[in-house]
Structure 1
């Protein structure tokens, strides 16, 4: 198991990052604000107008530290990384399996099994923790969603069409988010959730979900590249220029447990409040700078929590789960494992 390293998030507009020996230095308006030893980092994420010196770009590429650039509200813009790692034979097998996905749906079924199982686990935990506080209608809606998600999960392995499986994933997501509002225990109309809106997010809950999904995508992409897989060529998600399809496949299992539960914790514990958001002229809702920093701290704290992984039979920091699952997927593609074992949260 690799040592868990850190991701450096730079959110200060106008920051200038440069190299000083084996350190990354951040200057703001000519004043040094931070100095980070390189050996502590595995990646950097820069939000908004952040400048990086060419020597630092080259240095990070040599050290295997990828740098992602996002807009101020979390939209992915670009990524700088060093030479591609991994075995070319592994990637060839990945491409072969992806091209023949209709003939071999096992990976897709297992990814969806993990996602739907974990969606049910999140809803069941809410029923167990807050069941007495739900109205009769709310309890009925949750029970129906749990029952329907269970049936969808049971039907996965009897389906032999990739498009039908994708449709079932969409139905499961719609069911899950149709009751997501019940899990938000804050009595504030600003945090009511009716449906998932992405580009752009149109309410605070969607803004928070989208922001954390962006962070999780970054981590999944890094994990796949670390084990030598191509994050752009997936199985569940169709290939599109600029889309990290395999990273999106990998993160499906983690969305409910990692991202969605973190959103609920931030809202229900009132760590994030209404004034932490602002609405743009086009209707998009984004996090303010100070709130974004709070979310990043909570995200890093969440990554340090130990969770039991049933397949490897040990507790692992949640931040390492994308790396563990990427390793298991690589082992399956190489033929070392008969199937890809999804992450199931219990």
Structure 2
């Protein structure tokens, strides 16, 4: 996780750029404080040697302040945020959304209206859903293809061919159920190749099938826990972009389920979460002693969770150049870019959605 405050302005090459700046002021330095100075948000960092000014940003250039961990905001700065319609999002140091503060006239009403309208337009909803599934299959294929360059085997080749077939069938899937079916079949084919991807010989890291609630193996425990960290990051991105986390397009809205978050997660599972799990296992960064059996399943113990936190934090800080974007971003900012792209497409049906496909 980054140890410095930062503020990035999007310079997207999407079909239609958003009106006005779309900038988030991330403050993720421990003991950093956001203050108001006239019409500026300033970030001060208190150290043993005194107070250090980290940045100063004009209020009109900020639409969201994201406070991570112990970073905080003074009351005058909060009042200014409320007045200027700048939302303040509170995140844990692992990216979990703890809450948010916004004025009486939130700027995301048009995004929410777009989400509701898309629920009733079958063709448009299926277009978004097809993009989510297509990006996930592409990224799963990419992970397997990268492995086949180093190793050969019938299981890898068979899985890669299966994913290619499912990708080709996307254009003929005419219902959400058909798209969900293709996503499920592709994921099953992908995980059938995982025994080849895992190089550790210990029986604890043998993998046969994906299981949940409870996870029945150490690999499944790692997958479930890491997917949870990814879900927290994507939910934070959705809130920053003004999306309602519970209004999904591929995943149908249902009580207490953040289905819009699950939609955007699909493309990032193979390239972020799965990458972390395989790296932890194959590099020997986690051991069988880092797991415990309870409640009918296998779960990470405290030491194992700490190892995952470290590895996931390093991965989310790695940079990538998203499709159609002019520069590289840390993954956690790529999450937000995708959420903003989705929000923009929902507000304007003439703006196409660019899914995240790893180059």
Normalised by the length of structure 2, the TM-score is 0.75
Q: Is the contact between residue 145 and residue 176 of structure 1 (CA under 8 Å) also seen in structure 2?
A: yes
Selected match of 1:309 from 311, 322, 339: 322
User: Quick check: 308-317 or 270-279, which moved more?
Assistant: 308-317
Q: What is the alpha-carbon distance in structure 1 between the residues aligned to residue 124 and residue 351 of structure 2?
A: 16
Q: What is the alpha-carbon distance in structure 2 between the residues aligned to residue 181 and residue 4 of structure 1?
A: 42
Q: Please name the residue that 1:209 is paired with.
A: 223
Q: Is the contact between residue 211 and residue 220 of structure 2 (CA under 8 Å) also seen in structure 1?
A: yes
User: Quick check: 282-291 or 211-220, which moved more?
Assistant: 282-291
Selected match of 1:127 from 117, 142, 148: 148
Q: Deviations over 1:41-75 (max 9, x none)?
A: 63459xxxxxxxxx9xx99x9882335699xxxxx
CA shift for structure 1 position 270: 0.4
Q: What is the alpha-carbon distance in structure 2 between the residues aligned to residue 4 and residue 122 of structure 1?
A: 33
Q: What is the alpha-carbon distance in structure 1 between the residues aligned to residue 267 and residue 238 of structure 2?
A: 15
2:262 aligned with 1:243, yes or no? no
CA shift for structure 1 position 181: 1.9
Q: Superposition pairs for residues 1-346 of structure 1, below 5 Å?
A: 1=9, 2=23, 5=26, 42-44=67-69, 64-67=88-91, 79-83=98-102, 85-101=106-122, 104-131=125-152, 139-280=153-294, 282-335=295-348, 338-346=351-359
Number of residue pairs matched? Answer: 300
CA shift for structure 1 position 256: 0.1
Q: What is the alpha-carbon distance in structure 2 between the residues aligned to residue 241 and residue 335 of structure 1?
A: 27
Structure 1: give runs of 5+ residues left out of the alignment.
10-18, 24-36, 46-54, 71-75, 132-138
Q: What is the alpha-carbon distance in structure 1 between the residues aligned to residue 205 and residue 228 of structure 2?
A: 20
Q: Secondary structure at the match of 2:328?
A: strand
Q: Please name the residue that 1:15 is paired with.
A: none
Q: After TM superposition, which residue ranges in structure 1, 4 or more long, deviate above 4 angstroms?
A: 6-9, 67-70
Q: What is the alpha-carbon distance in structure 1 between the residues aligned to residue 309 and residue 93 of structure 2?
A: 15
Q: Is the contact between residue 345 and residue 351 of structure 2 (CA under 8 Å) also seen in structure 1?
A: yes
CA shift for structure 1 position 125: 0.8
Structure 2: give runs of 5+ residues left out of the alignment.
1-8, 10-22, 36-42, 45-52, 56-64
CA shift for structure 1 position 202: 1.4
Q: What is the alpha-carbon distance in structure 1 between the residues aligned to residue 164 and residue 286 of structure 2?
A: 32
Q: Is the contact between residue 136 and residue 270 of structure 2 (CA under 8 Å) also seen in structure 1?
A: yes
Q: Is the contact between residue 86 and residue 229 of structure 1 (CA under 8 Å) also seen in structure 2?
A: no
Q: What is the alpha-carbon distance in structure 1 between the residues aligned to residue 257 and residue 336 of structure 2?
A: 20
CA shift for structure 1 position 145: 1.1
Q: Is the contact between residue 235 and residue 261 of structure 2 (CA under 8 Å) also seen in structure 1?
A: yes
CA shift for structure 1 position 163: 0.8
